[in-house]
Amino acid sequence: MSEYIEHDKNGISVGLVEKKFFTFAEPPDELILEGGARLGPVTIAYETYGTLNADKSNVVLILHALSGDSHVAGYYSKDDRKPGWWDIMVGPGKGIDTNKYFVVCPNILGSCLGSTGPSSINPETNKPYALDFPMVTIGDMVTAQKALMDYLGIRKLLSIIGGSIGGMQVLEWCVRYPEMVVSAIPLATTTKHSALAIAFNEVARQAIMADPNWNNGDYYFGRKPNLGLAVARMIGHITYLSDESMRLKFGRHLQDKSDFSFNFDADFQVENYLRYQGTKFVERFDANSFLYISKGADYFDLESQHGSGSAVKAFSKARAKFLVVSFTSDWLYPTYQSKAMIQATKKNGLDVSFCEIEAEWGHDAFLLPNERLTLLVRGFLERVFEETRTEQHAF
Amino acid sequence: MSEYIEHDKNGISVGLVEKKFFTFAEPPDELILEGGARLGPVTIAYETYGTLNADKSNVVLILHALSGDSHVAGYYSKDDRKPGWWDIMVGPGKGIDTNKYFVVCPNILGSCLGSTGPSSINPETNKPYALDFPMVTIGDMVTAQKALMDYLGIRKLLSIIGGSIGGMQVLEWCVRYPEMVVSAIPLATTTKHSALAIAFNEVARQAIMADPNWNNGDYYFGRKPNLGLAVARMIGHITYLSDESMRLKFGRHLQDKSDFSFNFDADFQVENYLRYQGTKFVERFDANSFLYISKGADYFDLESQHGSGSAVKAFSKARAKFLVVSFTSDWLYPTYQSKAMIQATKKNGLDVSFCEIEAEWGHDAFLLPNERLTLLVRGFLERVFEETRTEQHAF
């Protein structure tokens, strides 16, 4: 990271940052995936901000959601207009204070934003994997992240933070590598995808696969399934908002017109918003990555995979201190799912804090500026950081 | 209607019924639509059950939702295995008792199930209208229903009943022809589509229009946009259910397998259900009709169209006695929307009953067997029928 510090609307930025790459699992030592397939070599893109302290006790691992990437904060160049996706939370003096903590964010396995995924070149064919890419689970994403931590020489994580699918990875880390995780902040997430969440993902996948340009996943040298992917993204965007937030943001306001068109133009602002989000998304995201990551999320079931169907049993492996946060208007991962998580962690005698934040913005709330969330995260990190120093923490 | 009476699992059926057709608005006397276009001739398919009494005071008009049709109850033949869509509610001795009431149900304008719609032949070209079909609003559907009532010599409606988009037509009737409507039962509906409801409809439309077979609406002589329409229907089905109903109905149960496929097959029962619903729907419904009716529903705004933005003002035109019913788990038209309707009708001194029914099945609840709903409807109809006789009703 450069020393270049920039002031912007989010306050002080971490400044110029750089995307880095770590490659491992070279054949014949491929990564063995939960589905049984072998994958290698595997590249994980990642970024780091702040400075690793001498005893390597200040590491905060941030794990992103479906379409996120390693670029959490800062800028890639002085001309770069858009900071990383959580710049409001991560930076000097911010909720996750880069003056104190060494922040790492890897791009997830299966993505198309630097890490190995279905759009990567299959070394056996010298063409993109497409559907020859093996299914990757949340557990496989975590396995790759662990390899990155090993490479960076990090053996203890002061905290792991992530929302949505990122939150699933946080939970997986806690039960998979309990000895490494001092604390965890799962945001707006769940221990297992509900039928409703699976349903939305499935319809989004069907929209992609219905696009003839999808061509059974083999489209990297031709026209892309942009229309299908745009519809998939629109479905996602509805689930990220809420009835209330859409009423407040759009209501029944018309888009640049005073009366109905009486045709199939985008009359309403909400229609225009969705079309715009769909169109914008296809410029930066790969349809096959959407399929793989969404299916991986649907498979996620911490209780069944780590507790024979019992959340209490699954969390019996965890040792971390938890800060669980849900949002009132999140109907994709509603508060009752976080409460079930709380119950299971408490039954294991774990140190757990829970906060349901009053927020109208639905599932998206965890990504939006929220003073309450910032204070919670900052306070929790300060506490656990302090405790690792004073308590001669067991890990 | 035949005298043939059949017993089935729903109790006594109205027996054999027949779809009838009424054609009007022959050029040059076309129907003038709310969007300004002229449409004619217009055919409305309809069915009737029971017997019209001497003073024509026992008419119950049933108005159906997006993909419904005129076939509310009974069977088309002795071999017919499937009764009409609301056979549980409509029949001898049922909630809407065909021994007492003369029931009429028209197929809505814009549909593809007997009434004129985009798949009908345009007399000017002798080809299906496709996108030359003019936009039809909820108000236009009601105008066509009024023409049918005139044709049948019906000047008073003991009750109008409908759920969802059918409920919008009920409300439109109440403010458009207040002198005709003695009572009204809007179920699981709203005075105006919310941004959330518009958003779901818009994504469904985008899924259809993204299908290259849609071909800008011109597909009647070639391959149909079945994949796009199936995705649209899947989106609809999610909105008709609820988080709770999906959890109870599907949970995370796998479909005919004991482990994940680790590919894009339908692993979960909920995936299989949605795919099945999508595939089944394309056999019976026209994609363009879906576009037109959903857009018509999005345009619906009783407050703005009849009350300059005020629900109280809109309902000031109504004279009917109301029974408003919402369902706890309906998140497409949540109870708060019915409550707003109640408030506006009460402020106008109207006779209004309201019931929120505890039901886990989401928006679909109004179509499912529900003893509470049956009793409510039966009691309300009996009361208003009695009152028209004893009070020398003003209408």
Q: Which of B30, B48, B49 is nearest to B40 (CA)?
A: B30
pTM: 0.95
Is the pLDDT score of A390 beyond 90? no
A247 part of contact set with chain B, CB < 8 Å: yes
Residues A261 and A292 in one domain: yes
Compare all CA atoms of chain A with the CA of B244 and give the residue at the minimum distance: A196
pLDDT value for B394:
47
Structure tokens at B376: 């409510």
Retrieve residue A137's tokens: 């689970």
A117 lies in some domain: yes
Residues B188 and B335 in one domain: yes
- Across the interface, do A195 and B268 touch by the CB < 8 Å criterion? yes
> How high is the pLDDT of residue A240?
93
- Distance, in Å, from the CA atom of A119 to the CA atom of A110, rounded to the nearest integer, reads 9
Position A348 in a domain: yes
A134/B267 Cβ within 8 A = no
Q: How many CB atoms lie within 10 A of CB B15?
A: 21
Q: How many CB pairs under 8 A join A and B?
A: 162
Q: Is A29 a catalytic residue?
A: no
When pLDDT is cut at 50, 70 and 90, the band that residue A3 belongs to is very low
- Is A395 contained in some domain? no
Residues A159 and A307 in one domain: yes
Rounded distance between C-alpha atoms, residue A375 and residue A323, angstroms: 12
How far apart are alpha carbons A136 and B260 in whole angstroms? Answer: 12
Answer yes or no: do A194 and B35 touch at CB < 8 A: no
Mean pLDDT, residues A196-225: 98
Of the residues A264, A299, A334, the one at which a domain ends: A299
Shortest alpha-carbon distance between residue A388 and chain B (Å) = 39
Model pLDDT, residue A90 = 97
Torsion angle defined by CA atoms of residues B307, B313, B316 and B321, in that order, rounded to the nearest 10 degrees? 90
The domain that holds B270 is classified in CATH as: 1.10.1740.110
Give the side-chain half-sphere CA count within 13 A for B337.
30
Q: CA nearest B186: which of B2, B39, B63, B55?
A: B63
Q: What's the length of chain A?
A: 395
Catalytic residue among A164, A242, A316, A329, which?
Answer: A164
Residue A203, SS3 per DSSP: helix
Q: What is the ipTM of this complex?
A: 0.94
Question: Contact A210/B209, CB-based, under 8 Å?
Answer: no
Domain boundary among B299, B317, B337: B299
Residue A4 is predicted with a pLDDT of 47
Q: Residue A6 — pLDDT band, cuts 50, 70, 90?
A: low
**Is the domain of B273 the same as that of B354?**
no
Q: Are residues B24 and B98 in the same domain?
A: yes
Residue B2: inside a domain? no
What pLDDT is attached to residue A7? 57
What pLDDT, on a 0 to 100 scale, did the predictor assign at position B10? 60
**B196 with A249: Cβ contact below 8 A:** no
Summarize the confidence of residues A112-134 as an average pLDDT.
98
Residues 131-190 of A with CB under 8 A from B: 134-135
CA distance B190 to B178: 19
Adjacent-strand bridge partners of B90 = B96
A88 and A167, same domain (yes or no): yes
How many C-beta atoms lie closer than 10 Å to residue B35's C-beta? 19
Provide the pLDDT for residue B22.
98
pLDDT of residue B7: 57
Average pLDDT over residues A284-306: 98
Question: What would the pLDDT profile of A57-75 be if each residue is shown by its tens digit?
Answer: 999 999 999 999 999 999 9
Q: Closest residue of A to B261, CA-based?
A: A35
Among residues B250, B195, B236, the alpha carbon closest in space to that of B68 is found at B236
> Which residue range(s) make up the domain with A203?
194-299
Angle, helix A287-299 to helix A165-176, in steps of 10 degrees: 50
Return the pLDDT at B6.
55
DSSP H or E run through A288: helix A287-299
Domain assignment of residue B145, yes or no = yes
Helix H or strand E encompassing A376: helix A371-390
* Local structure of A64: helix, strand or coil: coil
Does residue B75 share a domain with residue B30? yes
Q: Is residue B23 part of a domain?
A: yes
pLDDT value at A1 more than 60: no
Query: B360 burial class (0-12, 13-18, 19+ CB within 10 angstroms)?
Result: middle
- For A28, A68, B129, the CA distances from A98, given in Å and listed in that order, are 38, 20, 63
Q: A5 pLDDT exceeds 60?
A: no
Q: Are A228 and A317 within one domain?
A: no
Coil, helix or strand at residue A143:
helix
pLDDT surpassing 80 at residue A24: yes
A331 inside domain: yes
In a domain, B395, yes or no: no
Domain final residue pick, B262, B281, B299: B299
Catalytic residue among A97, A211, A330, A364: A330
Q: pLDDT: is A9 or A341 the higher one?
A: A341
Both tokens of A371, joined, read: 């003073």
CATH of the domain at B110: 3.40.50.1820
Give the tokens for residue A345: 């962690």
Burial B319-335 (b: 16+ CB within 10 A, else e): bbbbbbbbbbbbbbbbb
For testing contact with chain B, the best of A235, A240, A244 (most B CBs within 10 A): A235
Quick one: which H or E segment has residue B63? strand B59-63
User: Which residue would you say has higher pLDDT here, A368 or B217?
Assistant: B217
pLDDT tens for the 395 residues of chain B, in order? 334 455 555 678 999 999 999 999 999 999 999 999 999 999 999 999 999 999 999 999 999 999 999 999 999 999 999 999 999 999 999 999 999 999 999 999 999 999 999 999 999 999 999 999 999 999 999 999 999 999 999 999 999 999 999 999 999 999 999 999 999 999 999 999 999 999 999 999 999 999 999 999 999 999 999 999 999 999 999 999 999 999 999 999 999 999 999 999 999 999 999 999 999 999 999 999 999 999 999 999 999 999 999 999 999 999 999 999 999 999 999 999 999 999 999 999 999 999 999 998 899 889 999 999 999 999 999 999 999 988 754 44
Could you give the residue ranges of the DSSP H alpha helices within chain B?
138-151, 165-176, 195-210, 226-240, 243-249, 269-282, 287-299, 302-307, 311-315, 335-347, 371-390
Question: Are residue A237 and residue A305 in the same domain, yes or no?
Answer: no
Same domain, A210 and A325: no
Residue from the list B193, B207, B251 with its beta carbon closest to the beta carbon of A207: B207
Phi, psi of B148 (to 5 degrees): -65, -40
Q: Are residues B235 and B366 in the same domain?
A: no
> Count of domains in chain B?
2
C-alpha Rg value of chain B to the nearest Å:
21
Query: A-chain residues within 8 Å CB-CB of B135?
Result: 260, 262-263
Among candidates A210, A212, A246 on the partner chain, residue whose Cβ is nearest the Cβ of B199 = A246
What value does the mean pLDDT of chain A take?
95
- Chain position carrying tokens 């009132």: A328
Asked if residue A198 and residue A188 are part of one domain, the reply reads: no
Q: Tell me: the pLDDT tens digits for A80-99?
A: 999 999 999 999 999 999 99
